[in-house]
Structure 1
Amino acid sequence: MRSIVHVTLTVLAFTVAALALPVTLGAVTLDASFENRYTQRTDGIAPPPVRKAHDPAKPTAVVVVGNEGAVVSDALAPYEVLAASGAFNVYTVAPQARPVTLTGGLDLSPDLDFAALDRLLSAKAPDVVVVPALPDLGEPTTRPVTEWLKRQLSRGSLLMSVCNGSGVLASAGLLDGRKATAHWIRIGGFDDEFPAVDWIRGTRYVDDGDIVTTAGILSGIDGALHVTERFAGTETARKAAEAVGWTHYSPGSSAPMTQNGFEAADTVVGFNTAFRWDKPMLGVLLTSGIRELELAAVFDTYGQSLAVETTAVGLDGSPIRSRHGLTFVPRGTPVPEDRLVVPGAEAAASHVADRYSALSPVYLHAGPGFPFDAVLEDLVRTTDTATTRWTARTLEYETGHLALDGEAWPWTVSLRPIGLAVLGLLAAFGIRALYRRIRRTSPTGRRGVVDPGKP
Structure 2
Amino acid sequence: MSTAPRPVLLAVYDTLADWEYGLATAHINSGAHQIDPGRFTVVTVGLTDAPIRTMGGMRVVPDITIDEVDDTTTAALILPGAEAFSAGYGAPWADLAERLLAVGIPVAAICGATSALARHGLLDHRPHTSNAVEYLGAQPGYRGEEFYVDELAVTDGDLITASGIAPAHFARAVLERLGLYRPETLAAWFDLYENHDPAAYPRLMAESA
TM-score (norm. length: structure 1): 0.37
- Matching residue's letter, 2:67: A
Preserved contact between residue 146 and residue 168 of structure 1 (Cα < 8 Å): yes
Rounded Cα–Cα distance in structure 2 between residues aligned with 1:226 and 1:140: 26
Tell me if 1:221 matches 2:168: yes
| TM superposition shift of 1:131 | 0.9
Rounded Cα–Cα distance in structure 1 between residues aligned with 2:9 and 2:188: 19
Percent identity, aligned pairs only, is: 21
Preserved contact between residue 125 and residue 152 of structure 1 (Cα < 8 Å): no
Rounded Cα–Cα distance in structure 1 between residues aligned with 2:47 and 2:74: 15
Larger radius of gyration: 1
Q: Which residue of 2 aligns with 1:128?
A: 76
Q: Which residue of 2 aligns with 1:97?
A: 49
Rounded Cα–Cα distance in structure 1 between residues aligned with 2:105 and 2:28: 16
Tell me if 1:168 matches 2:116: yes
| TM superposition shift of 1:104 | 2.9
| TM superposition shift of 1:190 | 1.4
Q: Deviations over 1:136-157 (max 9, x none)?
A: 2265653322222222222321
4+ residue segments displaced more than 6 Å: none
Rounded Cα–Cα distance in structure 2 between residues aligned with 1:221 and 1:97: 29
Instruction: Quickly say closer, same or farther: Cα 1:88–1:248, change in 2 above 3 A.
Output: farther
Q: Which residue of 2 aligns with 1:157?
A: 105
Preserved contact between residue 65 and residue 92 of structure 1 (Cα < 8 Å): yes
What are the equivalent positions in structure 2 for 1:412-423 lying under 5 Å apart? none
Tell me if 1:200 matches 2:149: yes
Q: Which residue of 1 aligns with 2:59?
A: 107
Kindly indicate which of the two structures has a greater share of residues assigned to helix.
1
Instruction: Quickly say closer, same or farther: Cα 1:159–1:58, change in 2 above 3 A.
Output: same
What are the equivalent positions in structure 2 for 1:225-244 lying under 5 Å apart? 225-232=172-179, 234-235=181-182, 238=185, 242=189
- Matching residue's letter, 2:53: T
Q: Which residue of 2 aligns with 1:80?
A: 26
Instruction: Quickly say closer, same or farther: Cα 1:237–1:100, change in 2 above 3 A.
Output: farther
| TM superposition shift of 1:210 | 1.4
Preserved contact between residue 81 and residue 241 of structure 1 (Cα < 8 Å): no
Unpaired segments ≥5 residues, structure 1: 1-54, 250-455
TM-score (norm. length: structure 2): 0.73
Preserved contact between residue 88 and residue 116 of structure 2 (Cα < 8 Å): no
What are the equivalent positions in structure 2 for 1:157-306 lying under 5 Å apart? 157-184=105-132, 187-193=133-139, 194-197=142-145, 198-201=147-150, 203-217=151-165, 219-232=166-179, 234-235=181-182, 238=185, 242=189, 246-248=193-195
SS at match of 1:180: coil
Unpaired segments ≥5 residues, structure 2: 32-36, 197-209
Instruction: Quickly say closer, same or farther: Cα 1:81–1:222, change in 2 above 3 A.
Output: farther
Rounded Cα–Cα distance in structure 2 between residues aligned with 1:229 and 1:211: 12
Preserved contact between residue 229 and residue 237 of structure 1 (Cα < 8 Å): no
SS at match of 2:114: helix
What are the equivalent positions in structure 2 for 1:139-150 lying under 5 Å apart? 139=87, 141-150=89-98
SS at match of 2:111: coil
Rounded Cα–Cα distance in structure 2 between residues aligned with 1:191 and 1:61: 30
Instruction: Quickly say closer, same or farther: Cα 1:162–1:241, change in 2 above 3 A.
Output: farther
| TM superposition shift of 1:211 | 0.5
Preserved contact between residue 121 and residue 143 of structure 2 (Cα < 8 Å): no
Backbone CA RMSD of aligned residues: 3.1
SS at match of 2:182: helix
Q: Which residue of 2 aligns with 1:390?
A: none
Aligned length: 187
Rounded Cα–Cα distance in structure 1 between residues aligned with 2:187 and 2:23: 12
Instruction: Quickly say closer, same or farther: Cα 1:204–1:189, change in 2 above 3 A.
Output: closer
Q: Deviations over 1:86-128 (max 9, x none)?
A: 442211111111111111322211222223443xxxx525221
